[in-house]
Chain A
Amino acid sequence: MWPRFEQITSRDVLERLDRLDVPFNQYGMDPYGISKRHIGLFVSMLEVFYKYYFRVRCFGLENLPKTGPGMLVSNHSGGVPADGGMIIASLFFSLDPPRLVHGMVEKFAQEWPFVSQWFNRVGQLPGLPEHAIRLLNDGRLLMVFPEGARGLGKLYKDRYNLSHFGTGFMRIALQTRSPIVPLAFIGGEEAMPTMFHAKRLARMFGAPYWPVPPYLLPVPLPLSCEIHYGKPMHFDGTGNEPDEVVEGYVEQVKSVINMLVTRGRAVHEQRRAGAEYVTHEVDPGTEPKP
């Protein structure tokens, strides 16, 4: 009845799946319930968006750790979590060897049929500190959006203004001694300009908000996007530091992301204008050139 998995997955995806840093067993499953087949189908779907719909360009991929734990910290935008999907796709299609990055999914999605099942099969576990700590201690890559749903739901007029960063991610990074890779996802805000939130619809689905763009459907437009990966940041500590110390570290990460966003938006404008890309490495240590 269903087409065979190998028939609808490209050779490139199959070859990359074999090199993925996930210990699949004889059932093609890993201890977290991640399934090779599901990943294959999921990234094949993401591939269309990554390569043709959003035409994502990545900068600074060399900043990602080739092995071992790492925490990717990103701005969040675009009403629907397409940014997360594109980050997963960039690590699968543009990194050599490919790596699987684990997102931390909003808890409300766990009660949705199929959605929760698919998220769990492709390594996108519910956003609990226990999961983050366990995955990092296991040497996996984690993707966090410290703005959370606040960032995803921000309105078009507030685009790229980072909202409040939680401190939980920093304590976990300190506790597990994981490097933090700051990154900026650019283009999501233009692809899905949220005018306002439909509160009643959101309540109906148990979601924290329901974005409404000018064309009403909560679907992002096919506009080009970029991902800028910054240099890894290392912080020393135990995770038990007082709040003001941790908040200071968080501010450092936030300011680097802000810098990456500013630079990224300049690159984005050039790209939109049809100019040559600025392909040099994005260095978070220097101010972006106007």
Chain B
Amino acid sequence: MKILITGINGNHARMVALRLLAQGHQILGIDRRPWPDAPPNIHVFQTDVRKRPAADVFRQHRPEVVIHMATITHFSATADERLRINLHGTRLVFDYCHEFGVKQAVFVGRHTIYGAAPDAPLYRTEEEPPLAVSTFPELADLVAADLYAGSALWRWPELKTAVLRLVYILGPTRRGTLANFLEGPRVPMIFGFDPLYHFMHDEDAVEAIVRTVDHQLSGVFNVAGPPPIPLSVLARGTGRQAIPIPEPLFRYAVGRFGLAYLPPGAAAHVKHPIVVDNSAFRAATGFEHQYDAHEIMRGFRDG
């Protein structure tokens, strides 16, 4: 099959590309950043998904499957840029998918859109509303992108749309939201709170995306790895020192003293858990995680 991956230069997108290539698929990619040592049979178009040349990739090459991975978080971009890339970019990609006869579109999203709140259920199913839009305003653009991608399910029923909500990805690539949070030697916690963190290994995340394509999935699915563990255990397991900070001081302490910077809205995500129920995805694809929490943390720690 001819598969187009947007944001192909991301670490996880590259891994997905190589895996699908090895399965015998034809791989195209779109990214603003160059991928100089890309395998010769992966054709990377260096452009922005929101620019005209991107439309031309769809028009001329007519991919059958599109995996949309060109989204960014607050760790790398400003609010304006996030809105442009995450929401407007997603909108254009899905419009092209419809216009140029793509058969399956996969949106690779995040479980953080469910948002952390004291009165939210521990295990979120796909029906749960995305609370992050109010609990963590910096994620509003990703919430909108996720819901917008999902709207393709009713707008264009002939396009098989899969919206994946992946838990944090952690592992030897040391890329991703949680990896950024755990980057420094010290990890900020809020005094008196120790929420569960749900994460999965790089390889398992890639496997889940590949399976979504293999099974031609359509629908909204939570994707998770091993059962969640408390943040304190996560910090210890990755060789970090957990620093409990009284909540009123939290927003002043982050970004200083070797602690990762977090926007003010992130405090809720360090107080309360976001854990997802991935039974629907497992039932649909037979996916089982291969790496347990210990292997994931060791992989991240040792790089």
Residues of chain A at the chain B interface (Cβ within 8 Å): 25-27, 29-33, 35, 107, 110-117, 120-121, 125-126, 128, 130-131, 134
A126 touches B119 (CB 8 A): yes
Q: CB of B196 within 8 A of chain A?
A: yes
Q: For the complex, what is the distance from the CA of A175 to the CA of B7, rounded to whole Å? A: 45
B55 proximal to A (CB < 8 A): no
| Contacting pair A116 B273 (CB below 8 A) | no
Binding site for A on B (CB under 8 A): 118-119, 121-123, 190-194, 196, 227-230, 233, 247, 272-273, 292-294
Q: Beyond the given A29-B227, A33-B122, A128-B119, please list 13 additional residue pairs across the A-B interface where CB-CB is below 8 A.
A: A25-B293, A26-B292, A26-B294, A27-B293, A29-B233, A31-B228, A33-B196, A113-B247, A114-B192, A117-B192, A125-B122, A130-B121, A134-B122
6 intermolecular pairs with C-beta atoms under 8 Å apart: A29-B227, A29-B230, A31-B227, A107-B119, A116-B192, A117-B193
On whether the beta carbons of B122 and A110 are closer than 8 Å, the reply is: no
A117 to B244, CA, bound (A): 13
Which residues of B sit under 8 angstroms from A27, Cβ to Cβ?
A: 229, 233, 293
Question: Would you call B118 and A110 a contact (CB within 8 A)?
Answer: yes
Q: Closest CB of chain B to A150's CB: distance in Å?
A: 19
Q: In the complex, what residues of B have CB within 8 A of residue A110's CB?
A: 118-119, 272
**Chain A residue at smallest Cβ distance from B244:** A113
Contact A131 B247 (CB under 8 A): no
Complex interface: chain B residues within 8 A of A131 (CB): 121-122
Give Cα A277–Cα B274 distance, bound, in whole angstroms: 49
The CA-CA distance from A26 to B294 in the complex, in Å, is 9
Residues of B close to A114: CB separation below 8 A: 192
Closest 5 CB pairs of A and B: A113-B192, A110-B118, A130-B121, A31-B227, A114-B192
Which of B190, B193, B230 interacts with A33 by CB under 8 Å? B230
B233 contact set on A, CB distance < 8 A: 27, 29
Closest residue of chain A to B128, judged by CB?
A130
Q: How many A-B residue pairs have CB under 8 A?
A: 57
Chain A nearest CB: distance from B283 CB in Å?
Answer: 15
Assembled-state Cα–Cα distance A182/B170 (Å): 46
Given contacts A29-B230, A33-B228, contact A134 B123 (CB under 8 A): yes
Q: Is the CB of B118 within 8 A of A107?
A: yes
- CB of B278 to closest CB in A, whole Å: 11
Residues of A within 8 A of B227 (CB): 25, 29-31
**Interface pair A111/B230, CB less than 8 Å apart:** no
- For the complex, give the distance between the alpha carbons of A97 and B294 in Å: 30
Q: Which residue of B lies closest to A107 (CB)?
A: B119
Of residues A32, A33, A125, which shows the largest number of chain B Cβ atoms within 10 Å of its Cβ? Answer: A33
Residues in A with CB closer than 8 Å to B292 are 26
Q: How far is the CA of A117 from the CA of B297 in the complex (A)?
A: 23
Instruction: Give chain A nearest CB distance to B21 CB in angstroms.
Output: 36
A128 contact from B121, B190, B193, B294, Cβ within 8 A: B121
B119 touches A113 (CB 8 A): no
B123 and A130 within 8 A (CB): yes
Contacts A113-B193, A113-B247, A117-B192 given; does A126 touch B229 at CB 8 Å? no
Chain B residue nearest to A115 (CB atoms) is B192
Partner of B229, one of A29, A120, A130: A29
Measured CB to CB, the closest approach of chain A to B221, in angstroms, equals: 18
Residues on the A chain within 8 Å of B123, using CB? 130, 134
The residue among A117, A125, A134 with the most chain B CB atoms within 10 A of its own CB is: A117
Considering the complex, give the chain A residue whose CB is closest to the CB of B227: A31
Contacts of A113 in B (CB 8 A): 190-193, 247
Q: With A and B bound together, what is the CA distance between A126 and B122 in angstroms?
A: 9
CA distance A116 to B193 in the complex (A): 7
- Residues of chain B with a CB closer than 8 A to A120's CB: 196
